[in-house]
């Protein structure tokens, strides 16, 4: 079968939080065939399966039982070109930011606002990654997945994926699908998306007149680096909580008390609040608790100062959730997946 299964593999370097927990067994797969072999092996031994992409959206709460399958397939291609768009396809194991760079090198536009997001392409649809005014679902065409229920390959288009803010079918039905490859529809002419005010200001400051996706990508990288810790230096999983969506009435009541509270009305009438603002107002920004803490530049990000266990991260997260609920009556929902333990 040719699968190299490693026993008791330390996952410390395979998750951006830098939490050192062991996978009972770990295997890296580079093709559909190897994936099927790995799943068959797990079925044969009745091992639970955990899929691993870039490990950038997970908290390891303990040892991971069964078989952990690291998706390492590579490959990217242009499938179709028309006058104003291209359809590209890439394998699930591709690094997201490198894929963004490849599209920009080819003169394809649409991913620049999503530059520097850690993780793999295959994980991107799971949480419908989004940043600086753009969400993956806007450029998403379809994906090919293995349905573990039926054992069949299936193609899922945008509506089948049920994308919403940091949500999708793959979060609603965890474990059912393995995403194998993703198709994105990109533009051949720049169409800058400058809805995010600090990005618009940074673009203005360049003095450039002609839209330039590469420059926008660099500005996005600069903004990200100024607020978000580099996981190589300080373990983290990006935003630890989702920005809460509130019914308009509840949000308006809060705004009467805190008129400066950032808020974003949504198409469905609900209002999105900034969890980072709530956490900062509750006094947690920069807070350290042993080996974990709340990032100094962005209160939405919990960090590992070195050697932290998942349980320490979760204790801090729960204390923040409880405090924000008491102060604002708002429930914060954790964003990364809790794995193991
Ligand atoms: N804010 C504070 N204090 C903080 C953090 C934020 O007051 O410590 C305020 C900001 O001043 C601003 C508002 O909250 O008025 C929103 O902050 P920001 O623009 O930094 O974005 P965010 O809502 O905190 C979201 C995403 C990020 C994404 C940025 C930019 C979520 C959960 N997070 O953060 O995504 O990069 O917008 O679009 O939606 C990620 O998912 O890992 C991630 C980093």
Tell me, using a 6 A CB cutoff, whether residue 128 lines ligand 1: no
Q: How far is the CA of 237 from the centre of ligand 1 (A)?
A: 14
Distance 277 CA to ligand 1 centre (A): 8
CB-side neighbour CA atoms (13 Å) of 124:
36
Over residues 301-323, mean pLDDT: 98
Mutation test of ligand 1: which of 133, 277, 293 has the most ligand atoms closer than 8 Å to its C-beta?
A: 277
Tell me if 274 CB under 6 Å of ligand 1.
Answer: yes
**What is the distance in A from the centroid of ligand 1 to the CA of 101?**
23
Share of the chain above pLDDT 90, in %: 99
The arithmetic mean of pLDDT across residues 281-288, rounded, is 98
d(CA 146, CA 151): 6
- Residues near 228 by Cβ (< 8 Å), separated by ≥ 6? 236, 238, 295, 297, 298, 301
Q: What is each CA distance from 134 to 100, 202, 304, in whole angstroms? A: 14, 17, 28
DSSP strand E in 177-335: where? 177-187, 235-239, 245-246, 263-265, 271-273, 288-289, 292-294, 301-304
The whole-model pTM stands at 0.97
List, by residue number, the catalytic residues: 166, 239, 335
Strand 130-131 relative to strand 85-91: parallel, antiparallel, unpaired?
Answer: unpaired
Closest approach atom of ligand 1 to CA 335: 32
Q: Is the pLDDT score of 95 beyond 60?
A: yes
Angle at 129 between CA 124 and CA 135, to 5 degrees: 120
- How does DSSP classify residue 46? T
Q: What is the pLDDT of residues 144-163, one digit of tens each?
A: 999 999 999 999 999 999 99
Find the mean pLDDT for residues 186-211.
96
Is the pLDDT at 93 greater than 70? The verdict is yes
pLDDT of 150: 94
At residue 1, the pLDDT reads 53
Mean pLDDT across 281-299: 98
Closest by CA to 35, choosing from 190, 140, 141, 148, is 148
- How would residue 48 be classed by pLDDT, with cut points 50, 70 and 90? very high
Q: What letters, b where the CB count within 10 A reaches 16 and e where it falls short, cover 71-82?
A: bbbeebeeeeee
Mean pLDDT, residues 172-189 taken together: 97
Residue minimizing CA distance to atom 13 of ligand 1: 274
Which strand (E) or helix (H) includes residue 328?
helix 310-328
Name beta bridge partners: 304.
235, 292
- If one residue of 56, 130, 276, 297 were mutated to test the ligand 1 pocket, choosing by the most ligand atoms within 8 A of its CB, it would be 276
Structure confidence at residue 2 (pLDDT): 81
Instruction: Tell me the per-residue pLDDT of 14-47, one tens digit each, with 9 for 90 and over.
Output: 999 999 999 999 999 999 999 999 999 999 999 9
The pLDDT > 70 percentage for the chain reads 100
pLDDT tens digits, one per residue of 220-231: 999 999 999 999
Decide whether any atom of ligand 1 lies within 6 Å of the 263 Cβ.
no
Which pLDDT does position 341 carry in this prediction?
85
């Amino acid at each position: 079968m040719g699968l190299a299964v490693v026993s008791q593999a330390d996952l410390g370097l395979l998750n951006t939080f830098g939490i050192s927990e062991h996978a009972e067994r770990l295997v890296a797969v580079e093709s559909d065939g190897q994936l099927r072999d790995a799943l068959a092996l797990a079925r044969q031994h009745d091992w639970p399966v955990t899929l691993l992409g870039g490990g950038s959206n997970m908290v390891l709460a303990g040892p991971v039982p069964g078989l952990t399958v690291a998706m390492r397939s590579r490959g990217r291609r242009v499938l179709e070109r028309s006058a104003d768009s291209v359809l590209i396809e890439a394998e699930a194991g591709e690094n997201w930011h490198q894929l963004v760079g490849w599209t920009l090198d080819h003169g394809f536009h649409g991913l620049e606002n999503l530059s520097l997001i850690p993780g793999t392409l295959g994980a991107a649809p799971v949480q419908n990654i989004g940043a600086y005014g753009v969400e993956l679902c806007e450029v998403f065409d379809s994906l090919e997945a293995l349905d573990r229920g039926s054992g069949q390959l299936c193609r899922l288009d945008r509506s089948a994926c049920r994308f919403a803010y940091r949500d999708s079918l793959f979060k609603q039905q965890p474990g059912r699908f393995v995403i194998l490859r993703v198709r994105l529809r990109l533009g051949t002419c720049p169409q800058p998306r400058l809805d995010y005010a600090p990005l618009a200001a940074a673009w203005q400051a360049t003095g450039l007149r002609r839209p330039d996706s590469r420059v926008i990508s660099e500005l996005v990288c600069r903004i990200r680096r100024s607020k978000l810790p580099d996981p190589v230096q300080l373990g983290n999983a990006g935003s630890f909580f989702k920005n809460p969506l509130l019914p308009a009435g509840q949000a308006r009541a809060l705004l009467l008390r805190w008129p400066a509270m950032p808020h974003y009305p949504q198409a469905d009438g609900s209002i999105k609040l900034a969890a980072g603002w709530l956490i900062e107002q509750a006094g947690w920004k920069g807070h350290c608790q042993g080996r974990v803490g709340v990032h100094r530049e962005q209160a939405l990000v919990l960090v590992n100062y070195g050697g932290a266990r998942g349980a320490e991260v979760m204790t801090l997260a729960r204390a923040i959730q409880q405090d924000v609920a008491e102060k604002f009556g708002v429930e914060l929902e954790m964003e990364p997946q809790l794995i193991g333990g």
